[in-house]
Structure 1
Amino acid sequence: MNHTRSTFVRNGVVAMAAVAALSLAACSSPDAPAADGKPIELTVLHAPINYEAVYLAEEQGFFKDASLDVTIVPGGTAQDNLGQLAGGSADISIVSWDAAVTATAEDLPIKLISGNGIISTEVDTSGVFVRGDSGITSIADLKGKTIAFNSVGSGGNVPVLQAMAEAGLDPKEVTQVALPFASMQTALENSQVDAIFPSDSFYSQVKAVDTFAEISNPSREFRGGLGITLWAVTEPWLAQNAETAKKFNGAMEKAVEFYSDPANIDAVYEVRSEVSGQPIDDVKGALVEYSLAIDPKVSQDTTDALAEFGFVTDPKSVDDILWTEAPRK
């Protein structure tokens, strides 16, 4: 696998530079339509979570069936992935809804073409954990404590902030630090932080630790049905490659169907183990729900929360962020 990563710092100057990079990337290296029966080459960037379906699409031949020759590249946070998309390192990339909202509010020309992993309304795949002997039993008890997120300043943390506000706790009274998901368990065990907020397969690993206690599941409470991860492209690329985007969505629809079939769970765990580098027994657990269809209502509610907590001003509407042909619920 080819590992690449770049950082995307979100401010006015960088936003303008990213717009220029997006335009240059689209002009200098557009994806040409398939000719003489040759497949269309695509570079697809995924996140540290919710990557199973895209690998299954490759392994099960769904991309090949759609005449797509896909190079899958592991990425980083949503902001990192936006940087690679802006620089032309990827044609299609996973981002979060929060990153898409903030980026489009700064007039970055991106569109979401489909959903990917979604937050279940019934099964938890993320939560706030503390050490069982810490004396912390609720979100309100985090006052004066330190919590680790995968990315500080990310809108993905907003459900935890909403839970704090609901509990009467000012989020400013809690120290927030950034830690990769893979480092959270060790940091909590060693008392480097007081709480962590893992997701996806990392959530399953942390939940299995007997000395930890789960005190809240704010993502399900405040964001049930929202896309955790979504597929994004640049508007210039989409203007030239709308049919390719349709082919990608079609292949991913088949992959999601395969992923969701309980008969194929071993294949899902094998992907998790290979990509994460963890033993297969450590990655077994509840599977994140996948859906290419995006829920406009919960997406709008989340956008409103981002504005409420100061993560974005003058956000675009849901319809402005989504491609006109993006699947919707």
Structure 2
Amino acid sequence: MQRSLKFISFLLLITVVLFTGGCAGKEQAPLKIKLGMLPIADNLPFWVAEEKGYFKEAGLDVELVPFPSALERDSAFAAKQIDGAVGDLLAVAAMQNCGTKVKAVAVAQGITPGENRFGILSAPNSGIKKVVQLKNVPIAMSLNTINEFITDGLLLSAGFNQDEIKKTAIPKLPVRLDALLNGTVKAAVLPDPFATLAEQSGANLVLDNTKNTVSPTVVMVRQEALDKNLAGIKKLMQAYTKAVSDIQSKPEQFDNILVEKARVPKQLLDNKENKLKFHFSQPVLPAAQDVEKVVKWMVDHKLLKSNLSYQDLVDARVLEK
């Protein structure tokens, strides 16, 4: 009887060892999170979180992977080479439309007016100073993107009819800026820092979204990463939120990151009279009305095969307490 009890105890010990991995206190390594990083100011909180060590503090293994363009970033999403990035709702919807399951988990910039600034500017010698003068004037932009969506939103809100909004395609921002400043085009839509640089170089700001957010940028994450590593993605956004607080308290301390990583011209940050400022708010979920506007615009422009719902494009679990 005593031998039987010892044998049973031995079997129980073996079972415990197997289930605990045979080594008390050994923890499973965190899943790696790869973020695609464009050289844009919207990514500042992630760069700050890396510099401050907030990812490591949270027990995360995060790699920030640079990409020169949104096209290459989105291709990396499709190939499952990255788990997340900062983009816009149009990019989320377009990838969903093509079968790449990606969802927005938080607004990055554009929560309040003044963040994520886009401007419609006229050439220095165009004579265009008022919004009404833009009617039937070709405006340079990147078509079928956030540029065109924002331009439509701003001008329709200003009382334009859709057929009074004319567009010409110049996808690359530096080329578009040069075309505006040398008068090749009479008007162009530019995001900051290009909009501020154009103003300081003599272009006329006709209209911007400082009173109308129009469309926010978002943190977007692959569905597979959300399902397999929800706890990790939650910690990622907690580190992001901590970095936003740092930026809000003393934004100028991160000017070096904006110059190095986001390629913001240093003279725009050194200009004390007209210093370029980037504003960030604590992350929230995208508003339903913003998602609806994007989907409707994309359907009207035949960029979506079918309507997509809020749940198709947004995952609310990451910001849940």
**Shorter-chain TM-score tier:** 0.7 to 0.9
Aligned ranges for residues 14-53 of structure 1 at < 5 Å? 36=27, 38=29, 40-49=31-40, 50-53=42-45
| Distance change in 2, residues 1:148/1:158 (3 Å) | same
- Whether the 8 Å CA contact 2:126–2:183 is kept in 1: the answer is no
Confirm or deny that 1:327 pairs with 2:313: no
Distance verdict in 2 for CA 1:113–1:202, change over 3 Å: same
- Cα distance change on mapping 1:37 and 1:60 into 2, 3 Å: farther
Whichever residue aligns with residue 242 of structure 1, its letter is L
Residue in structure 1 matched with residue 57 of structure 2 by the alignment? 65
Tell me which residue corresponds to 2:284: 293
Sort the Cα spacing of 1:174 and 1:100 in 2 relative to 1 into closer, same or farther, 3 A: same
Name the SS for the 2:212 alignment partner. helix
2:179 to 163, 172, 187: 187
Measured at CA, do residues 86 and 105 of structure 1 come closer, stay the same or move farther in structure 2, by a change above 3 Å?
A: closer
Determine whether 1:141 maps to 2:133.
yes
1:162 to 143, 147, 153: 153
Alpha-carbon spacing, 1:122–1:90, altered in 2? closer, same or farther (3 Å)? closer
Deviation at 1:232, TM superposition (A): 1.8
SS in 2 for 1:266: helix
From 274, 279, 294, the counterpart of 2:260:
274
CA distance in 2, matches of 1:308, 1:77: 26
Length-normalised TM-score, structure 1 = 0.76
* Alpha-carbon distance, 1:215 to partner: 0.7
Match of 1:110 in 2: 102
Report the number of matched residues: 287
State the secondary structure of the residue aligned to 2:242.
helix
Q: Deviations over 1:237-282 (max 9, x none)?
A: 3221112111211111111111111x2x223211111114454232
Superposed, which structure 2 residues align to 1:184-223 within 5 Å? Answer: 184-209=176-201, 211-218=202-209, 220-221=211-212, 223=214
Matched, 1:235 2:227: no
Q: Which amino acid aligns with 1:291?
A: Q
Question: How far is 1:130 from its partner?
Answer: 0.8
Instruction: Give the gaps of 5 or more residues in structure 2.
Output: 1-25, 270-274
Q: Which amino acid aligns with 1:322?
A: V
Distance of 2:283 and 2:237 partners within structure 1: 8
The CA deviation at 1:176 is 2.1
Structure 1 residues 171 and 64: alpha-carbon distance in aligned structure 2, compared to 1, 3 A threshold: farther
- Structure with greater Cα Rg: 2
Paired residues of 1:185 and 1:206 also in contact (CA < 8 A)? yes
What is the match of residue 252 of structure 1?
240
Structure 1 pair 290–46 and aligned structure 2 pair: CA distance change class (3 A):
farther
RMSD: 2.8
Identical-pair percentage: 18
Closer/same/farther in 2, CA of residues 113 and 132 from structure 1, 3 Å limit: same
Please state whether the residue corresponding to 1:198 is helix, strand or coil: strand
Amino acid aligned to 1:281: Q
